[in-house]
């Protein structure tokens, strides 16, 4: 069977084998720490064995099928780790234009609670006005302002339209088992609920109901996704030697590059369906590693689109960048370039070629140009985009992130920095309990 590969040929001119080997041993130890729970943040390691411990997939599938009978649109409310994983997988598997047609039994997923834009919420309400819809509200803490605001507004709208009873049947809550405002509300209103395990942080939660339920509602095969994660689990477990362990290798080369001043990693795709895989990846790596004044800055581009914008900087700007390219071997569909009698656009030399062949030459030409321009290149090769390989990819990135964070010397499972803006926002909004902070911040304005 074809599998996901990590290709580091494009690093040859930049880091030596001995520089990589320095990290090979370290990453092996870090992988042990993840399995043995002997590293920092070890109360948040529930995701490590998750692929083999999921036991509620049938309930998730049944719930998804049942709610799909009544709705055309499911609004998934959540922010950060509570929505990015689902959106990443759903976008990767969806037809680019499928959200333009909605019908009963085949729900489309739209998102809310990931911004505080009045226009966004207003326009969403207008869109939902002519649709049959429901809500999946996701918040581990149950107190995050953005999703709580969106839920209050959308719940009101749903109740006004259908009455409390029917609206209640169209709301599913995914939250903590016992604590938090959302748990309390869900229990009071008797919503259908799913639990986010205590020991799994938001950005590592795709394989919990946080990701699995929306993905199942969108009609995709969560069993295959889990099977992919299980397959990758074996490939990159701490029993697998470094030579075969692509998570340890990816973590090792990232750290070796960082040590040599490559402080920005750009995740590159050549297929717009993967745009949100990069958004999810940025949260995973940014929140896990960016602390204590350390960490690679995770960025992303969609090629070839961004070759016409960011391409200039990547080729010739500050040389602190390396690229990780997600290279998909085969597209799902086939389309060739037609011949044209006049050939005024000069494209007849490509006639009969598949569009993907041209994309692949753009990819190859770009890697060569960027390597020549001193941008080290890592390639993650995936045979095709489907649930099985996406399940593998997610677990690969999660595991490599935990290993890489440990190798960097940080706790990859906390996010203390996220609180700073919240404290200021609450102070400015004069939230009860923030009186001292309000007085302090007002003096600064
Ligand atoms: O990774 C994380 O922990 C965060 O991004 C959270 O997922 C995000 O802040 C949402 O939190 P919650 O699910 O508690 O609303």
Pocket test for ligand 1, best of 86, 88, 141 (most atoms within 8 A of CB): 141
Pocket test for ligand 1, best of 47, 82, 214, 421 (most atoms within 8 A of CB): 82
Is the same domain home to 195 and 80?
yes
- Cα separation, 281 vs 84, whole angstroms: 9
Span from the CA of 100 to the centroid of ligand 1 (angstroms): 29
Helix (H) or strand (E) holding 60: helix 57-68
Q: Which residues contact 259 (CB under 8 A, 6 or more apart)?
A: 19
Q: Report if residue 34 sits inside a domain.
A: yes
- Cα separation, 247 vs 28, whole angstroms: 10
Q: Report if residue 353 sits inside a domain.
A: yes
Give residue 258's domain range: 5-39+240-412
Is the same domain home to 218 and 268?
no
Is the same domain home to 279 and 354?
yes
- pLDDT values of the chain reduced to their tens digit, one per residue, 445 residues: 789 999 999 999 999 999 999 999 999 999 999 999 999 999 999 999 999 999 999 999 999 999 999 999 999 999 999 999 999 999 999 999 887 777 777 899 999 999 999 999 999 999 999 999 999 999 988 889 999 999 999 999 999 999 999 999 999 999 999 999 999 999 999 999 999 999 999 999 999 999 999 999 999 999 999 999 999 999 999 999 999 999 999 999 999 999 999 999 999 999 999 999 999 999 999 999 999 999 999 999 999 999 999 999 999 999 999 999 999 999 999 999 999 999 999 999 999 999 999 999 999 999 999 999 999 999 999 999 999 999 999 999 999 999 999 999 999 999 999 989 999 999 999 999 999 999 999 999 9
Residue 57 CB-density burial (10 A; 0-12 exposed, 13-18 middle, 19+ buried): middle
The verdict on the CB of residue 80 being under 6 Å from ligand 1 is yes
Number of domains, the chain:
2
- Cα separation, 151 vs 111, whole angstroms: 11
- Cα separation, 285 vs 406, whole angstroms: 12
Residue 12, classed as helix, strand or coil, is coil
Strand-pairing partners, residue 75, are 110, 135
pTM: 0.97
b/e 280-309 (16+ beta carbons within 10 angstroms → b): bbbbbbbbbbbbeeebbebbbbbbeebbee
Strand-pairing partners, residue 333, are none
The verdict on the CB of residue 56 being under 6 Å from ligand 1 is no
Q: Report if residue 76 sits inside a domain.
A: yes
422 is catalytic: yes
Q: Report if residue 21 sits inside a domain.
A: yes
CATH number at residue 132: 3.40.50.10490
Is the same domain home to 274 and 326?
yes
Of 248, 265, 279, 287, which is the active-site residue? 287
Is the same domain home to 380 and 256?
yes
Q: How remote is the C-alpha of 26 from its chain's centroid?
A: 26
Q: Report if residue 231 sits inside a domain.
A: no
């Amino acid at each position: 069977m074809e599998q996901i590969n990590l290709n580091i040929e494009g690093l040859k001119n930049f880091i030596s084998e001995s520089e990589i080997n320095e990290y090979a041993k370290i990453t092996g130890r870090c992988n042990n720490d993840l399995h043995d729970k002997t590293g920092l943040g070890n109360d948040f390691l529930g995701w490590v064995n998750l692929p083999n411990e999921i036991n509620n997939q049938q309930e998730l599938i049944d719930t998804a099928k049942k709610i799909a009978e009544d709705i055309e649109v499911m609004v998934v409310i959540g922010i950060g780790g509570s929505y990015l994983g689902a959106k990443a997988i759903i976008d990767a598997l969806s037809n680019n234009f499928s959200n333009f047609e909605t019908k009963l039994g085949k729900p489309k997923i739209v998102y809310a609670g990931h911004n505080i834009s009045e226009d966004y919420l207003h326009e969403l309400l207008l869109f939902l006005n002519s649709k049959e819809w429901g809500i999946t509200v996701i918040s581990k803490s149950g107190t995050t302002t953005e999703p709580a605001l969106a839920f209050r507004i959308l719940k009101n709208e749903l109740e006004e339209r259908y009455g409390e009873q029917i609206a209640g049947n169209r709301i599913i809550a995914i939250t903590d088992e016992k604590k938090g405002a959302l748990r309390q509300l869900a229990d009071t209103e008797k919503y259908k609920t799913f639990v986010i395990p205590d020991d799994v942080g938001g950005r590592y939660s795709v394989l919990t109901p946080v990701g699995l339920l929306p993905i199942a509602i969108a009609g995709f095969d969560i069993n295959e996704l889990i099977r992919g994660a299980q397959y990758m689990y074996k490939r990159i477990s701490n029993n697998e030697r470094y030579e075969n362990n692509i998570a340890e290798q990816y973590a090792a080369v990232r750290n070796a590059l960082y040590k040599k001043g490559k402080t920005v990693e750009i995740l590159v795709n050549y297929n717009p369906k993967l745009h949100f895989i990069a958004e999810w990846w940025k949260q995973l790596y940014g929140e896990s590693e960016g602390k204590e004044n350390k960490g690679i800055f995770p960025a992303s581009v969609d090629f070839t689109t961004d070759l016409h914008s960011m391409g200039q900087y990547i080729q010739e700007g500050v040389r602190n960048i390396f690229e990780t390219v997600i290279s998909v071997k085969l597209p799902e569909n086939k389309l060739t370039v037609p011949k044209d009698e006049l050939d005024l656009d000069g494209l007849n030399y490509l006639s009969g070629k598949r569009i993907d062949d041209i994309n692949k030459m753009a990819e190859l030409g770009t890697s060569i140009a960027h390597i020549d321009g001193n941008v080290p290149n890592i390639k993650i090769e995936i045979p095709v985009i489907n649930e099985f390989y996406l399940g593998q990819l997610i677990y690969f990135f999660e595991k490599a992130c935990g290993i890489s964070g440990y190798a960097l010397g940080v706790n990859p499972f906390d996010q203390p920095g996220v609180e700073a803006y919240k404290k200021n926002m609450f102070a400015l909004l004069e939230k009860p309990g923030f009186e001292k902070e309000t007085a302090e911040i007002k003096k600064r304005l």
